[in-house]
Amino acid sequence: MRRIAEANGVRVKAYAGTTGVLLAFDVESAKRSGLLGFGICRETLSGRYAGRINWLQGSLDFPGTSKGPSELLATNVAPIQKFRWSDYAVYPGTRYAYRVYPVYPKGRAPVTGSNRRLYLKEGPVVAVDTQDFQGEDAIIFNRAVASSQAFSRRFPDLDEEIQQAKEAGTLGSKSLPQRALDWLSRGMVERIESFLEQAEDSSWAIDLAIYEYHLPRLHQAMVDAAERGAKIRIVYHAKKDDKATLENEHRLHDPEIPGAALFPRVTTAIMHNKFVILSRILSDGSRQPVAVLAGSTNWTENGCYRQANVVHITRNPAILENYARMYETLLATLSNRRSTKYAINRDNVIPTSPERFGGFSPRSNLADIGAIADLIGRAKRDVIFSTAFRLRDEIADALLGSPHDAILRMGVQNSSSSRITGIHRDRTAHFTAAALLPGGLEGWLKETTAGQRGNIRVHTKAVVIDVTSDLPMIISGSHNFSTNASRNNDENYLIIRRDIDVADVYLCEIMRIYDHYRFRYSARERIRAGEPTAPPSLSGDDNWCEEYFKEGSLKNLDRLRFAGY
């Protein structure tokens, strides 16, 4: 959901996702003189922590302080000097009120750490509800490696232990405790488990199509469902002498899933799907789908904890029909990719103006690539994206657009082999998005993912188009927007238009990943340029905001789009 509030020359627009709220600001010209930034106070209005009031925090301070690099400061003493800020310390299905204070100096002297005389003026208050998991769509992103700094603050004992193991040369054999993995999952694994738990008895069925089926915890959830009487079918990636296949077949039988029908799918490429259909068994024995769980997440430790991924549950009837038909097609064409492609070409035509659509591949003539590139190319305001592997040129061209065009373009691309290795606001400033830092959680990740399939940081494959408008569109799934994904692999993806709530979840989480890696890139570039490596500091006067009001600048476009102009 999103809300706008204005007061005393300050405007705030809030976009509420499931586990994040993005706040965008604007100020009238007369209020910019002396502006030092914004203080943001959050009050929890519902749920377990109702009545709690907190100042949001930032990592920068005014010059001349002794603040540690990982220390956070409340924004009433170290204001936010940006026109967009996000809060990721929120819970699903909870109501919050944000009070925004424009901050000014007391006196004319520039503010420093030793001269911190600030005046907070009253500003607007905006109340929003984070999204829960009860609606037609329920979406959750894990924390994954993009939470590395927060990991160090939350688990200082583990951070120190990892460093000691690295120095001793024993890091490769180290594993994280379950409490840390649960935090990295941020409820993703629990959400998959609760989805499967809905199959309460023999009147339910679970149909799973999965590329990598390796996580014991999720396998146990399938075993439990079968023991309750649920009818289970599993189509899984299978290929001779393939590591993923060997692990799939080991896990599927350790222990056995009572009564499950297992179908190895052998293709010339990979069975890259990761979706589950939950159905009721009708009196005639047929299955009536009630929900689909899809997204980018493999059932592996990598997928659930290390890589940035999404799980998207939908109950939309049109999409359920798409997925149910596709599952039967997979069963009917287990080892005949040509028949699969023919059926998809015939039965799964992508609409030119889709509202809600479940799409699949392989296809002929790169039809999905052309259709998706066309949808991206029709953007009028913004394109926000997260991609993982080398992109088809048609997709890359659509995401990049033209230099200095009117579209705000912000995204992360994991693969350095693509022409897009990250992009900042538009194609005039590229960056590499997914490099690992050498220490802490990421030092451990580097060791534990070595030699494994999926040794990447960003695995989410999603594009959000015109998200700051009232007509947003999201494209999200297993599809990597690549040649193989279109021509050869078994893939699936969702296209959802006009659903602001769905778009806001994707916006908040893709921007979390984007902002993390953009900050990381900027720090690295300063080091390469030989600039001082000390962390940046806040401006002691209002010079920081000039670029946000400079006609034609990227920051100006950022401010205008997110503030809703």
Q: What span, in angstroms and rounded, lies between the C-alpha atoms of 334 and 349?
A: 21
Q: Token match 């599952």: residue?
A: 327
User: What's the pLDDT tens digit per position in 230-247?
Assistant: 999 999 999 887 888 999
The DSSP code sequence of 470-503 is: SS-EEEEES--SSHHHHHTSBEEEEEEES-HHHH
Q: Which of 479, 484, 487 is nearest to 462 (CA)?
A: 479
For CATH 2.60.40.10, list the domain ranges present in the chain. 2-132
Q: What span, in angstroms and rounded, lies between the C-alpha atoms of 102 and 123?
A: 7
pLDDT of residue 452: 47
> Among 191-200, 315-324, 332-341, 368-377, which is the least confidently predicted range?
332-341
Q: Which CATH superfamily is domain 2-132 in?
A: Immunoglobulins (2.60.40.10)
Q: Around Cβ 194, how many Cβ atoms within 10 Å?
A: 14
pLDDT of residue 169: 81
User: What's the pLDDT tens digit per position in 197-224?
Assistant: 999 999 999 999 999 999 999 999 999 9
Q: What span, in angstroms and rounded, lies between the C-alpha atoms of 407 and 397?
A: 13
For CATH 3.30.870.10, list the domain ranges present in the chain. 137-519
Q: What span, in angstroms and rounded, lies between the C-alpha atoms of 194 and 92?
A: 15
Q: What span, in angstroms and rounded, lies between the C-alpha atoms of 221 and 196?
A: 7
Global pTM?
A: 0.94
Q: Which residue type is seen at 478? A: S
pLDDT of residue 433: 60
**Can you read off the two tokens belonging to residue 20?**
């994040």
User: What's the pLDDT tens digit per position in 409-420?
Assistant: 998 887 666 677
User: What's the pLDDT tens digit per position in 162-186?
Assistant: 888 878 888 767 788 899 999 999 9
Q: What span, in angstroms and rounded, lies between the C-alpha atoms of 525 and 530?
A: 9
User: What's the pLDDT tens digit per position in 272-313?
Assistant: 999 999 999 999 999 999 999 999 999 999 899 988 999 999
Q: Map residue 189 onto helix, strand or coil.
A: helix
Please name the residues in contact with 21: beta carbons below 8 A apart, sequence gap of 6 or more: 14, 15, 86, 87, 90, 96, 98, 128, 130, 508
Phi-psi region of 324 (alpha: psi -120 to 50; beta: other; left: phi over 0): alpha
Q: What span, in angstroms and rounded, lies between the C-alpha atoms of 219 and 238?
A: 17
Q: What span, in angstroms and rounded, lies between the C-alpha atoms of 274 and 302?
A: 14
pLDDT of residue 155: 87
Strands 204-210 and 231-237: parallel
Confidence of residue 51 (pLDDT cuts 50, 70, 90): very high
pLDDT of residue 182: 94
Query: Hey, CA dihedral for 199, 201, 205, 206, is it positive or negative?
Result: positive
According to CATH, the topology of domain 137-519 is Endonuclease; Chain A (3.30.870)
User: What's the pLDDT tens digit per position in 69-86?
Assistant: 678 999 999 999 999 999
* Helix 317-332 and helix 337-347, axial crossing angle in degrees, nearest 10: 150
Partnered with residue 361 across adjacent β-strands are 491
